[in-house]
Structure 1
Amino acid sequence: MEEPPARVELPAAFEYVDVDVLAQLVADMMDRLISHNDQIPLSPESLTRFHSRTAPGISVLDYLRRIVRFTKLDRTCLMITLHYIDQICSRIPIFTLSSLTCHRFLITSIAVSSKALCDVFCTNSLYAKVGGIPVTELNMLEREFLRMIEWRLTCTREILQEYYVNLVRTHSKGQFHIAGPGSSSSSDSDMDWDANRSRSVSPARPGMNGREASTILIDTATLSPESPRPPTLEQNMAFEAFRRSSQGI
């Protein structure tokens, strides 16, 4: 019988965690969101500039590691991506983080947050090259991202720390724990509570076969939901292209 891997103790504050470990934690959370959200049927009005025709052939973790390697990604910029996901998915409930949107969302979020939070950051040309998309496309994604987030690009350090704690406690392999008194032996009930909280969901919408889009940790007091809009001509045409492609027409 194979022994479970030894648990790894992490610093109490996310600022002192190895950036590769943070990438593993974020990727693990996103993989679970994607697994859930990929089961939601795609509709014309849910298509955004972040949708690709097919899922990229690189995992979320490898994509994050690529970004970390070539852009010297700051830990805060990586962590605040989770806050952006919650904020956008709550303001625009039809948007979901899926295998078709995750990679474009990540590179755009990191490009935007680096400019907002860091004294030194890369150019869009470099972010686009690292992300595997044309720079003109990244420019359009950046404008759309800022519209969706309503230019609210910052949050408190306490919010990011709460995300970090929840990422560790709900890690799918239970591989990590946070250093500190009593941190190495959380009760099952505590773990269940945090897992449920970390999978907060937006209200169910028609046409989703009863499934709900999963987000992470929503602070609803800060949100101003956007009214639903009918699909545009561009969305209808893109949706038809998706349909024909999936059916091999």
Structure 2
Amino acid sequence: MAELEITSVMPKLITFLSSLLQRVADSNDLNCLFDPKKISAFHGLTRPNISIQSYLERIFKYANCSPSCFVVAYVYLDRFVQRQPSLPINSFNIHRLLITSVMVAAKFMDDMYYNNAYYAKVGGISTTEMNFLEVDFLFGLGFHLNVTPTTFHTYCAYLQRQMLVEPPLNVEETSLIIGRSQRLQLCTYNEDEASHQQQQQLAV
């Protein structure tokens, strides 16, 4: 999906991602009642009053980052939950994870971006907390920030297909881990495996 194509579907992408993340959060909220998980720096004391969709729309409105950043932020969230299975996405941490993932994506992808203080205001948190969340998120990712063109287009293609489905697929079929090990084959893109396959093809 080219940059122009992403721009043309951004409103629908924001709505779709919000719905997907809401379903994941709701499912994990229920799971945590029976299987309490570790509390992280992203975990708020209470559920934010603003909905996931309104929050993501606010980020989209004020962050002024490139549309690609939202796809890359989604990739980062996917990587984060893969590496941190004891920290599933829920309604207590999704807002902080969103603002942090978009900010990190903007810093990595865009030539111009706002500072942490600005993102803190957009996210409704303090600059100190924003700084701390950024560091925690980077370590949670293992500083694995690079997104290859192949990975980017794989995630774009997945999102594009799922946006054609109304409503979005159920939680078991989403790209984000929700506390279980089962994952849709297309959702987890193994860059090392893809690189190995490309090398084999070149060797032929």
**TM-score grouping bracket, smaller chain normalisation:** 0.7 to 0.9
**Alignment match, 1:219:** 189
TM-score (ref. length: structure 1) = 0.65
> Paired residue for 1:28, among 19, 24, 27?
19
> Paired residue for 2:76, among 81, 84, 97?
84
- What whole-Å deviation, never above 9, does each CA across 1:27-74 have from its counterpart, x for those lacking one? 122112112211122677611000001111111111111111112131
Structure 1: gaps spanning 5 or more residues = 1-9, 177-190, 203-210, 224-249
- Equivalent residue letter for 2:129: E
**Alignment match, 1:50:** 42
**Alignment match, 1:112:** 104
2:69/2:109 contact within 8 Å kept = yes
Say which one has the larger Rg.
1
How many correspondences in the alignment?
Answer: 190
1:27/1:60 contact within 8 Å kept = yes
2:175/2:183 contact within 8 Å kept = yes
Matched, 1:165 2:157: yes
**Alignment match, 2:31:** 40
Q: Which moved more, 1:135-144 or 1:61-70?
A: 61-70
Could you say if the C-alpha distance between residues 50 and 175 of structure 1 is closer, same or farther in structure 2, counting changes exceeding 3 Å? closer
Q: Aligned-residue CA RMSD in angstroms? A: 3.3
2:13/2:163 contact within 8 Å kept = no
**Alignment match, 2:8:** 17
TM-score (ref. length: structure 2) = 0.78
Could you say if the C-alpha distance between residues 214 and 64 of structure 1 is closer, same or farther in structure 2, counting changes exceeding 3 Å? farther
- SS state at 2:91 partner: coil
Structure 2: gaps spanning 5 or more residues = 194-204
2:55/2:95 contact within 8 Å kept = yes
State the percentage of identical aligned residues.
27
- Equivalent residue letter for 1:128: A
Which structure has more RCO (C-alpha within 8 Å, separation ≥ 6)? 1
